[in-house]
């Protein structure tokens, strides 16, 4: 049996560019891609905390250490510069792989530097 699980998350990244006349995709600072394990051209889900939009695109590598998070192409209609977003990648894992599975969770500062990293989301209390 296989399960689709959260592989990686960039939590509360700030959109730096929204470029309608681009081929498409989402450019992400290359160092953030490396840290999160999100691969160039991998499908990603973007959840816009600012306006509630949710959409699918793919990741492309942005300039290392630039802090760039650029929503491009048609998706640029769903996000504005300074919107706060969550970028997630999912993958399929076997039961054996899930024994020691932990996602990579990267928490962002408002300037798209890394606040901290984790591999567990705190239990939500009532």
CA–centroid distance for 115 within its chain:
15
Distance of CA 116 to the CA centre of its chain: 15
Q: Give the closest residue to 46 by CA, choosing from 56, 36, 38, 37.
A: 56
Element (H, E) at 96: helix 95-98
* The token pair that represents 66 in the structure block: 């630039």
Give the residue numbers of the binding site for substrate: 57, 73-75
Task: Catalytic residue, from 58, 90, 93, 107: name it.
Answer: 58
Q: Mark whether 115 is an active-site residue.
A: no
Confirm whether 58 is a catalytic residue. yes
The answer to whether the CB of 57 falls within 8 A of the CB of 26 is yes
Nearest to 111 by CA among 31, 13, 10: 13
Residues annotated in a binding site: 57, 73-75
**Cβ(27)–Cβ(72) below 8 Å:** yes
Catalytic residues: 25, 58
């Amino acid at each position: 049996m296989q399960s689709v699980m959260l592989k990686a998350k960039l939590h509360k990244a700030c959109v730096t560019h929204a470029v309608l006349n681009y081929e498409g995709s989402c450019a992400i600072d290359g160092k953030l891609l490396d840290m999160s394990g999100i691969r160039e051209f991998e499908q990603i889900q973007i959840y816009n905390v600012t306006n509630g939009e949710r959409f699918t695109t793919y990741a492309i590598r942005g300039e290392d250490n630039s802090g760039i998070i650029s929503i491009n192409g048609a998706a640029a209609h769903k996000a504005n510069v300074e919107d706060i977003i969550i970028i997630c990648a999912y993958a399929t894992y076997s039961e054996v792989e899930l024994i020691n599975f932990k996602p990579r969770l990267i928490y962002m500062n408002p300037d798209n530097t890394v606040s901290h990293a984790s591999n567990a989301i705190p239990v939500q209390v009532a």
